[in-house]
Amino acid sequence: MSLFVYFTAAAVCFYLLVYYNVFRGGRCSSPAKLEGKTVIVTGSNTGVGKATALQLAKRGARVVLACRSRERGEAAAFDIRRESGNHQVVFMQLDLSSLKSVGRFAETFLRTEPRLDILINNAGVMSSGRTQDGFGMAFGVNHLGHFLLTNLLLERLRRCSPSRVVTVSALLHRFGSVSFPALQSRKDVVDGESSWTSLQAYCSSKLCNVLFTRELANRLEGSGVTCYSLHPGVVHTELARNMSRWLQLLLRPVAKLLFLDPEGGSQTTLHCALQEGIEPLSGRYFSGCALQQVGARGRDDALAAKLWEVSERLAGLSQHAES
């Protein structure tokens, strides 16, 4: 054989080894049916969120697509209804970059929907810029918006227990940190505005997801509401659409070769939402449809408790409770 053939064979073997052992992940094996159950999936007009919502609709759930764009959200609801044959799939507007929008969504949902059995905090951004309330975009959307949303819906989740809160984090949480002085001074977890600091902020927001889930589990112990955070796998989605053009061009060929498609990326979310017997693991972190260890900061209970207290203040949770 020529050197080229040997090289090609070696490259294919390496690709298959990496794909099946690192990127591909596990499959949700739960046979659970969801007739009579209601699920919210944030950021479900595209990517992993849409794939997750489709699978839940196929199992018979009433699925609320909580998305920022009305046009894209209603189009996604139409697609899912058509593909699943389930007509209990509805769009409800939610902009996680606006705490006021989060409050309106929760108010509308609680007024119009009698049940909430599963809340899936899926939406995420990797972007510079600021939310409508002045927070760094990744921190404000990925953590703070979901923090407020979950708290505003907790009483309904308790009433419908056993119920679950599933929050999509990422393996990159291991590179995150939480700077309370930065949150105090500039409403963000990093300093500066660039593609690099956007990545740092994203990693830190994903650490916040892990810490939030850990503290939420502590607060909900014995309530019948369990919660889980997860890494969905390395997925080819629109997450990086706000990154610089050259970074997108660099990532695109790698993503097409190695990364999971959205359906594959939805599997660990579905596992955490549906799998029986994982209730004692509330507060823990999953990847590849299996329990995984988080980074050292993600196991810091004192850090998780402090983040919760600061998030309550930043989100104005007491004001929402009074209104």
**Residue in 6, 19, 20, 202 annotated catalytic:** 202
20: annotated active-site residue:
no
Distance CA 195, CA 177 (A): 17
Encoded tokens for 83: 């593909």
Burial grade of 90 (CB within 10 A; 0-12, 13-18, 19 or more): middle
Scored b (16 or more CB within 10 A) or e, 304-316 reads: beebbeebeebbb
Cβ count near 2 (within 10 Å): 7
Give strand ranges (E) for the chain.
38-42, 62-67, 89-93, 118-121, 163-168, 225-231, 285-287, 290-292
Distance CA 39, CA 230 (A): 18
Q: Are strands 290-292 and 38-42 parallel, antiparallel or unpaired?
A: unpaired
Distance CA 222, CA 220 (A): 6
Encoded tokens for 236: 């080819």
Query: Which residues are tagged catalytic?
Result: 202
